[in-house]
Amino acid sequence: MAWEKLPVLKSAVIGCGICGYTPSRLSLKSRIFAGFGYADVKKDGVIVYEERPDADFDKAPTLQKFENMARKDPDHDWRVHFELPLREAEYQRQGDNQWMLVKTGMGFA
C-alpha cells in the first residue's frame, strides 16, 4: 500500500443537529453533491470529479461510480470531500465499499 490509511473518526453532529450529522461510513448511494457548498473526489490529491456550480442533485454521481473506479485502481489514496455551510467532512477509501470519515470541520459559515 503506497498511501497512508488514516484513523477513522466516529459519527458526529457538526454544526446544527438537523443538518450537521456526519456518519463515519459514507454510503455508496450517497450523491457527490453539496448544493450550496463544494464537493469533490480526489485520487492521490488530484481532483477526478468536482461538483459544478450549476449541478443538479438528481444528476449528481453517486459514490458507487467512484468506488467502481477505485476498484480498478486501488493502490491510491481515494477521498471524497464535502465543504458545506455548517460542516465539512472528508472520507477516505479504506477497502472495498469502505469510505470512512477521516476529517471533520465546521464548514464555511
For 8-35, what is each residue's pLDDT tens digit? 998 876 656 666 678 899 999 999 999 8
Q: Tell how many helices (H) and how many strands (E) occur in the chain.
A: 1, 7
Q: Which residues pair with 47 in a beta bridge?
A: 42
The whole-number pLDDT of residue 17 equals: 60
Q: Is 66 in contact with 80 (CB distance < 8 Å)?
A: yes
The whole-number pLDDT of residue 60 equals: 95
Q: 81 to each of 21, 89, how far by Cα in Å?
A: 15, 6
What pTM did the predictor assign?
0.91
The whole-number pLDDT of residue 100 equals: 97
Residue ranges of domains in the chain: 23-105
Q: Is 100 in contact with 25 (CB distance < 8 Å)?
A: yes
- pLDDT, averaged across the chain: 90
In the numeric block, which cell numbers belong to residue 88?
465539512
For 73-87, what is each residue's pLDDT tens digit? 999 999 999 998 888
